[in-house]
Amino acid sequence: MLTKKQHELLMFIHDSMKDTDISPSFEEMKEALGLKSKSGIHRLISALVERGYIERLPNRARALRVVCLPEGSDTAAANDSASARSEHNNIGQFTPAPQAETLGIPLYGKIAAGTPIEAIRDEGHTIDIPPSLLGSGQHYALEVNGDSMINAGIQDHDIVIIKKAETCNNGQIVVALVDDNEVTLKRFRRAGSKIILEPENDTHEPRVLDPDRVKVQGHLISLFRQY
């Protein structure tokens, strides 16, 4: 079952693509649904893809295809539109968009926001992120596993966007490698000759470590959550 906003977006994409195989831009979707940011559109699209109503077409910017419509909608129109786009694609007559609406960054796996665990690095998986959530530099994504950062607004199963870095400022939330085999997401503090990895949950204890035991692998810049 779709939420009201998911249904509105699906029908807007379908209606916009009746006469063309180019999906509306994120900006057009945002304006049509009255949302304040493109990240909200990205979450809605991800939910529709997950539920099988639309799919992303590879190697093309702004390339979406309506697979089906909710019961009671004009599914025949959706199927006709999809068939027309498929035939158009087969002859290679693509209309390029000037700029991709999302960027794919590697999703390396799960990171503990409780007891540290080894991050699962899998180069084969990526996640599409709106450029507005990124900045300069190299980035990667990790799925949070645990509740030790909930007071910072980071919940279990959230996707955190990390900028690669080997240094950080005092107080930043970082990906820290401990003893070369444990990776954790914590707030970084310096206290004299020690480094403190602080949780954001009163039920968890901070870790006080010698500097040579901690290597910063990046710091938090954005958070992505699906509903």
The whole domain housing 212 covers: 103-224
Q: How many domains does the chain have?
A: 2
Query: Where does a domain end: 90, 117, 144?
Result: 90
* pLDDT digits (tens), the chain, 227 positions: 678 888 888 888 888 887 766 778 888 888 888 887 777 787 788 878 877 888 877 655 557 778 888 766 654 444 444 444 444 444 344 344 444 467 778 887 777 665 554 445 555 577 777 777 677 788 888 888 889 999 999 988 888 989 999 999 999 999 999 998 888 999 999 999 999 999 999 999 999 999 999 999 999 988 877 66
Q: 149 near 131, Cβ under 8 Å?
A: no
Q: Which residues are catalytic?
A: 148, 186
The number of C-alpha atoms within 13 Å of 218 and in the hemisphere containing its C-beta is 19
Q: Are residues 52 and 141 in the same domain?
A: no
Please give the Cα distance from 27 to 187 (Å, whole number).
34
Spatial distance between the Cα atoms of 217 and 78, rounded to a whole number of angstroms: 46
Element (H, E) at 6: helix 4-16
CA distance 149 to 169: 18
Domain of residue 54, CATH code: 1.10.10.10
- Is 107 in the same domain as 217? yes
Q: What is residue 207's predicted lDDT score, i.e. its pLDDT?
A: 95
Residues 129 and 86 in one domain: no
Which residue pairs from 150-158 have beta carbons closer than 8 angstroms and sit at least 24 positions apart in sequence?
A: 150/200, 150/201, 151/200, 151/201, 151/202, 152/187, 152/200, 153/223, 154/113, 154/185, 154/200, 154/223, 155/225, 156/113, 158/223, 158/224, 158/225
- Tell me, what's the pLDDT at 82? 45
CA distance 52 to 81: 16
Q: What is the pLDDT of residue 191?
A: 93
Q: Which two tokens stand for residue 208?
A: 């006080």
pLDDT of residue 81: 45
